[in-house]
Amino acid sequence: MDLNEVRKNARERLKGTGTCAVYKVCDGHPDRLCQGLKYGDVPGMGGAGSGMSFHNNFLALQRIKLRMRNVGPGFEVDPSIDLLGHQLKMPIIGASTSGMKTSLKGVITDEELSEATVQGCKAAGTISARGDGVDTIEENPGLAAIGRVDGWGMQVYKPVEQGLLLQRIKEAEEAGVVAVGVDLDGCGSLNMAKIGYPVHRKTPDELKEIVASTSLPVLFKGIMELDDAEAVLESGAAAIVVSNHGGRVLDHTPGVADVLPGIVQLVDGRMIVFADGAVRSGYDAIKLLALGADITLIGRPLIRATVGGGAEGVRLHMEFMLSTLKAAMRMTGCPDLASIGPHILA
């Protein structure tokens, strides 16, 4: 199996679902099959409302150009990174996707997605986050999949009622995960309310309480504004995730690449910065790294890879991400991650 076959398999399996056509370019364009108003339903693989937030993530990356540098001493490319004391082959990890019963009409289950992303990312030398938001809150296929690889994964929860959230964080700690997170932008999610567990905005004091409740590194996801970034920084969290939830919770936001530099400047190296939005190759990833992100995440591509090839499909896709990142680093004159910066952007 190669990645072309994985994509072909995914296209065949998704045919007729109306959720994803596995286009050559996954750009969130309003004309795409996945896009369009859903009139109160979840957006499938598309974005909320007209889908412009999803599309804006893509457009923000497309506006950025790379400078090609070919003169100088030769070098070997090393894109490896230490993340929270764990060595990864690349600064690209799996995002915390979930909700396959509604998003993909049950073509794959959350159990299959969790198993494939956790196992496939590990086989490729990186790691995956896992989300919640399935049929019942008592079920957590993501955490179960992480447990089967001795905790090699990060568990991210929706912002449910604080007492319940703290209890769930404790469960992740007992499972020995690498880190735990809260999907703050998940306060716009419809899925949790449908199963009887409404989501809520979290106050700055609640963020601090979450960090203080666990010995695990904590990351807060869904930050697009400086005020929110300041609250995350003051909470003592280990990491911040600049993300608009793949454009799935609010229409007409800026793209992640548009707001990332301001948040990076505010953070000023005091915590890890993740960025998540329309990353489809290593060429996209290096743009976000050059803007100041430490780690990039990918979501939709790994869902399609799971549909088309399971864990092997995910491994192949992550190895494609690594090979294209290496190519981008080589052609922009960057032997390692520390050498990537705004100077490679046009």
Per domain, the residue ranges of the chain are: 85-332
Q: Which of 33-37, 132-136, 281-285 has the highest mean pLDDT?
A: 281-285
Give long-range contacts, CB 8 A cutoff, 24+ apart: 249-252: 249/48, 249/185, 249/186, 249/187, 249/188, 249/189, 250/48, 250/53, 250/188, 251/47, 251/48, 251/49, 251/50, 251/51, 251/52, 251/53, 252/49, 252/50, 252/52, 252/53, 252/56
CA distance 148 to 174: 13
pLDDT given for residue 102 in this prediction: 85
Write the pLDDT tens digit of every residue in 252-298: 999 999 999 999 999 999 999 999 999 999 999 999 999 999 999 99
Classify domain 85-332 at the CATH topology level: TIM Barrel (3.20.20)
Provide, rounded to the nearest whole percent, the portion of the chain with pLDDT above 90: 90
CA angle 42, 221, 335 (to 5 degrees): 120
**Average pLDDT rounded to a whole number, residues 321-339:** 98
User: Is the pLDDT confidence value at 96 over 90?
Assistant: yes
**Average pLDDT rounded to a whole number, residues 312-332:** 98
| Reported confidence tier of residue 175, pLDDT bands at 50, 70, 90 | very high
pLDDT given for residue 190 in this prediction: 72
Amino acid symbol at 48: A
DSSP letter at 135? S
CB 28 within 8 A of CB 59: no
| Reported confidence tier of residue 26, pLDDT bands at 50, 70, 90 | very high
pLDDT given for residue 194 in this prediction: 75
User: Is the pLDDT confidence value at 133 over 90?
Assistant: no
- 32-36, 169-173, 221-225: segment of lowest average pLDDT: 32-36
